[in-house]
Structure 1
Amino acid sequence: MPAVSSRTALQLLMLLALGALLLGLGLCVGSTGWSPWFGAQAFPDDTMRQILWDIRAPRSVGAWLAGALLGLAGAMAQGLFRNPLADPYLLGCSAGASLGVAALLFAIGLSPTATALALRIGMTGAAFSGAVLAVVLSLVLARGVEHGLRLLLAGVVVGVVLGSGAALLTLINQDALRAMQAFMLGSTGFVGWSAVQVMALSLGVCLLVGLGCSRTLDALTLGEDTARSLGQRLTLIRLLLIAALSLATGAAVAQCGLIAFVGLIAPHLVRSWGPTPHGALLLLAPLTGGALLLAADIGARWVIAPQELPVGIITALLGGSYLLYLMHRRGSVLGGAR
């Protein structure tokens, strides 16, 4: 495991403190807006305690974990493909998850057998299965992991095809349109403690894999030939990283739906604080992604309470605004250098 510098340790502590603060705020915001959990009148009855523990707490922790998974997956994807615009959905995970959910909703009502199977799998299982299917198809089309560009193109093709399939199934089954819309826009409203356990376990496994491969990611920044000359086993490392980022993305998407920009923006924010090796990036990006998504989820609950915005809309607005800011800043720097 890579050593942690004093600057990275300070950033870790600050991000952990920010996450703890946001978790406290998440417990204070419910369907009616601001209702704090602290103070003498915080728990007037057992119902409020149950709301706090069974609804707000798992939702807040789950939002943080989903953001952490997406931030980690984005950091691994950008390092693996050496592309700052790579995101966790690059290998078609989002389209595969959408197809899985659309197929589940389409199967319900076709026959008693299909309905029973669909209910047994559930939306979470269908989304995760679809995400895994998309990654496997991308690997098959790319004929392995040796060629990064071919894998990228295969992911794009798989995403387009599976996304079209999901759209077709939704068009045929109009009753599924509302459920699919909620999935496509992202929501943490249905996250329970079982989902929190799944995401926490996935985060731990993926983080260990990523940290174990961090030196190879650093070597890849110098080029594939240089990485091979340094003795890095690129084929094995690529397989491990693709498996880890697919697991991280699939776990987050299966529990919270499609949430845009978190996996793309979190690594960029970390790099904007200064030069960061991948060992530190893979620690800081999950904490940043968790804080981003949890803050967006708190905003989604509070802005128009008692109604609620889909959290994916807020992350898209924040992420798009940040990318526009980066474009403007870099354009100004380039313009001034002429």
Structure 2
Amino acid sequence: MSLAPAPDTRRGSRPGPRPDARAPARGGRPSRAALALPALAAAAVGLALAELVYGPVHLSLARIWAVAQGQGDAAAEAILMRIRLPRLGLGIAAGAALALSGAALQGILRNPLADPGLIGVTGGAAAAAVTMIVLGGGVIAALPGFLVPWALPLAAFAGAAAVTAFVFAAARRGGATSVATLILAGVAVNAIAFAVIGALSFVSDDQQLRELTFWNLGGLGGAAPGPIGVAAAAAAAAGVGLMRLARGLDLMQLGERAAFHAGLDVERAKFAAAAWSALAVGAVTAAAGPIGFVGLVGPHLARLLVGPGHARLLPASALCGVALVLAADLAVRTAVPPAEPPIGLATSLIGGPFFLWLLLRRLRREGPDA
């Protein structure tokens, strides 16, 4: 079974429909798409408020407002400023960055199964970050003070960028990118990354091992302000950079040859999309650990709401990613208080079955040779 999209030569024979290649319906779709972005923004704002209100200690909106005005009590101010606001900021950055990266990768590959985790980008970032945590103490100690917060994000970005370059080079054959080879290369990279993380966990001391155990499952608690700020900046930069590629991503849905004849520098667009994705995934992974399947589920939900046009799909994907991460974090924080299971468990429980459903749906639509 091949997961690759149909070659360009089959365009005249009307290949089976792909979720990211459908034209918007002429009936109710435009009105639904117009309402989707405000609705998603409202949902994200509501979940953000719920993140501030609910937890082991309940804070009413009145107490939160009092803190915002500088008139709150000391306990509420400490909870908000030291715990919940940093957690909320990291959740927003992680959800937006992962979903934007997923939408961009699905666009340049013309395949709805592409995801930063599935092709090994998240695994490469995680392995590099773990290497820096366990073995990079001397490097971090030798850095100037203003560079210390950047050490872990830069290591994670380097790992993500190296993996991105490798899997795209491995999948490149005859001027086209094989999605099946890309995913298989990602599987191999994930296996290597898992082995590296396991070996480093084995040689780490007790404090490092405890840190790695919780970090490797993904979570929003405990991150320092430096990595959170870097993750937020990387997510914002990736959002701006990918929005500038929206038209190119739309042209890519016609096939690389057609996009080239339409005036798109295909290789430059693919490099830019992959680089922005690696930057965003690396920074977020350094701060929150690997959080799986947000880059797969978020863009699909957005595509159902706003259609395949990337000018709307990218911001909608970011909002869906934010909503997914905040909802998952809220669920794990309120499920068994005061314990906080890692958020990666919740996203994997959602994303794993969703990926299987997408795969089966694709097989039913396009046949076993799709």
TM range (shorter): 0.7 to 0.9
Aligned partner (choices 182, 195, 198) of residue 167 of structure 1: 198
Alpha-carbon RMSD across the aligned residues, in angstroms, is: 3.3
Q: Map 1:68-147 to 2 at 5 A.
A: 68-107=96-135, 113=138, 116-117=141-142, 120=148, 123-138=152-167, 147=176
Could you tell me which runs of 5 or more consecutive residues in structure 2 were left unpaired when the two chains were aligned. 1-29
CA distance in 1, matches of 2:228, 2:108: 27
Residues 1:207 and 2:236 aligned together: no
Task: Compute the displacement of 1:226 (Å).
Answer: 1.2
Q: Is the 8 A contact 2:117 2:293 kept in 1?
A: no
Q: TM-score, normalised by structure 1?
A: 0.83
Count of residues in correspondence between the two structures: 327
Task: Compute the displacement of 1:41 (Å).
Answer: 11
Instruction: Give 3-state SS (helix, strand or coil) of 1:185's partner.
Output: coil
Bigger CA drift: 45-54 or 73-82? 45-54
Instruction: Give 3-state SS (helix, strand or coil) of 1:50's partner.
Output: helix
Task: Compute the displacement of 1:255 (Å).
Answer: 1.1
Q: Residue 11 of structure 1 aligns with which residue?
A: 36
Q: 1:174 to 1:58 in 2, by over 3 A?
A: closer
CA distance in 1, matches of 2:87, 2:186: 31
Q: Is the 8 A contact 1:137 1:158 kept in 2?
A: no
CA distance in 2, matches of 1:248, 1:83: 20
Q: Is the 8 A contact 1:70 1:262 kept in 2?
A: yes
Instruction: Give 3-state SS (helix, strand or coil) of 1:273's partner.
Output: helix
CA distance in 1, matches of 2:47, 2:38: 14
CA distance in 1, matches of 2:226, 2:131: 24
Residues 1:182 and 2:218 aligned together: no
Q: Residue 50 of structure 2 aligns with which residue?
A: 25
Q: 1:189 to 1:145 in 2, by over 3 A?
A: farther
Instruction: Give 3-state SS (helix, strand or coil) of 2:107's partner.
Output: helix
Instruction: Give 3-state SS (helix, strand or coil) of 2:307's partner.
Output: coil
CA distance in 2, matches of 1:53, 1:74: 31
Aligned partner (choices 261, 282, 290) of residue 293 of structure 2: 261
Task: Compute the displacement of 1:256 (Å).
Answer: 0.6
CA distance in 1, matches of 2:308, 2:165: 31
Instruction: Give 3-state SS (helix, strand or coil) of 1:299's partner.
Output: helix
Q: Is the 8 A contact 1:102 1:180 kept in 2?
A: yes
Q: Residue 15 of structure 2 aligns with which residue?
A: none
Instruction: Give 3-state SS (helix, strand or coil) of 2:305's partner.
Output: coil
Letter in 2 for 1:56: R
- Kindly provide the CA deviation profile for residues 114-148 of structure 1, in whole angstroms up to 9, marking residues without a partner as x: 67359946544443343333334445656799542
Q: Residue 38 of structure 1 aligns with which residue?
A: 62
Q: 1:188 to 1:146 in 2, by over 3 A?
A: farther
Aligned partner (choices 88, 99, 102) of residue 60 of structure 1: 88
Bigger CA drift: 215-224 or 237-246? 215-224
Aligned partner (choices 35, 38, 47) of residue 75 of structure 2: 47
Could you tell me which runs of 5 or more consecutive residues in structure 1 were left unpaired when the two chains were aligned. none
- Kindly provide the CA deviation profile for residues 202-236 of structure 1, in whole angstroms up to 9, marking residues without a partner as x: 22221222122122221221211111121211011
CA distance in 1, matches of 2:341, 2:325: 13
Aligned partner (choices 300, 304, 311) of residue 332 of structure 2: 300
Q: 1:146 to 1:177 in 2, by over 3 A?
A: farther
Task: Compute the displacement of 1:246 (Å).
Answer: 0.7
Q: 1:280 to 1:127 in 2, by over 3 A?
A: same
Bigger CA drift: 93-102 or 179-188? 93-102
Task: Compute the displacement of 1:37 (Å).
Answer: 4.2
Residues 1:247 and 2:279 aligned together: yes
CA distance in 1, matches of 2:162, 2:193: 10
Q: TM-score, normalised by structure 2?
A: 0.77
Task: Compute the displacement of 1:287 (Å).
Answer: 0.4
CA distance in 2, matches of 1:82, 1:330: 13
Task: Compute the displacement of 1:97 (Å).
Answer: 2.3
CA distance in 2, matches of 1:144, 1:291: 38
Q: 1:199 to 1:122 in 2, by over 3 A?
A: closer
Residues 1:312 and 2:344 aligned together: yes
Instruction: Give 3-state SS (helix, strand or coil) of 2:62's partner.
Output: coil
CA distance in 2, matches of 1:128, 1:117: 20
Q: Is the 8 A contact 1:138 1:155 kept in 2?
A: yes
Q: Is the 8 A contact 1:74 1:88 kept in 2?
A: yes
Q: Is the 8 A contact 1:107 1:115 kept in 2?
A: no
CA distance in 2, matches of 1:266, 1:36: 30
